[in-house]
Structure 1
Amino acid sequence: MRILVHLCGKVKPEMLDYRPTPKQRSTIELLRYLTVMGPVLVRSIQKGAFLEQEWGAAQAKADASDFEAIVKSIESQSAFYAEALNSFSDEELRGEIELFGMKARRGPMLVDLVVCGHAAYRTQLFCYLKACGRDELNTLNLWAGIDGQM
């Protein structure tokens, strides 16, 4: 989450409505999605079923949030993940569930959907920033969450 927050710090107000193509998310929509995706997927994986109503409520809250509130929500997710992931027992992590038509153990599903999802969407944000003229950003920003020369 620290790296995502670092990248959020590179977003200028005029970049929030950037949308690569008409059918892709804008920068602000992507960040709103990131406030919902991880937390609801973690709880869904723990429950063993997609929490569709929770997703809808969380998305509605995110859709009503401005950039500052979105960044605060993302910042708060570090504590959420620490608490939520520690609440899984080893047995639960090894337990198999079916979610989105995929059967897998909870542990690997957390990695595949949440951890890999965050890396992918963080990369998407990085690409948006580069497309909006943040030419100074480089691999250190994307993978270490720091400014620096390569």
Structure 2
Amino acid sequence: MWPAIALLAFVTFQRLSELVLARRNTAQLLAMGAQEHAPGHYPLIVAVHTAWLATLWWLAPGRPIHMALLVLFVALQLGRIWVLRTLGPRWTTRIIVLPGAPLVTGGPFRFVPHPNYLVVIGEIAVLPLVFGLWQVALLFSVLNAIVLTIRIRAESRALSAVA
């Protein structure tokens, strides 16, 4: 039971810390003249991620941890750190565009246009599988795909408008 709770506490702390960082970065970017685009979809993202984590807190404690999948989840966390470090103060949880700023093309962005979304797709699927909860992985992967489709379209429009 304790390993599951420790892992979920880590992920919860990580997400809450990232919200603080995102809020700070968003405020700084807006103060520099950046603009938020398509804010209407943001509550959907928050709802999916909150429900995913709450469902894991409800179902995962007491379940065994599959170590190979835990290693994969840890690898995804390294990808998450790479993305956050590459974006630095431009990383937010919202679509914030700073006019005139060049697109980030270093780090993982050299290989794929939306590396953070690939990490999130992996996390949404893999963390439930760490606990053997394939139904949770499937359900939230579908929900995440829906909100990411909306998000990526909106982000692509926002970025092409300033390019």
TM more than 0.5: no
Pick the TM interval, shorter chain: 0.3 to 0.5
- Provide the TM-score with structure 2 as the length reference: 0.38
- Provide the TM-score with structure 1 as the length reference: 0.40
Q: Which has the higher helix share?
A: 2
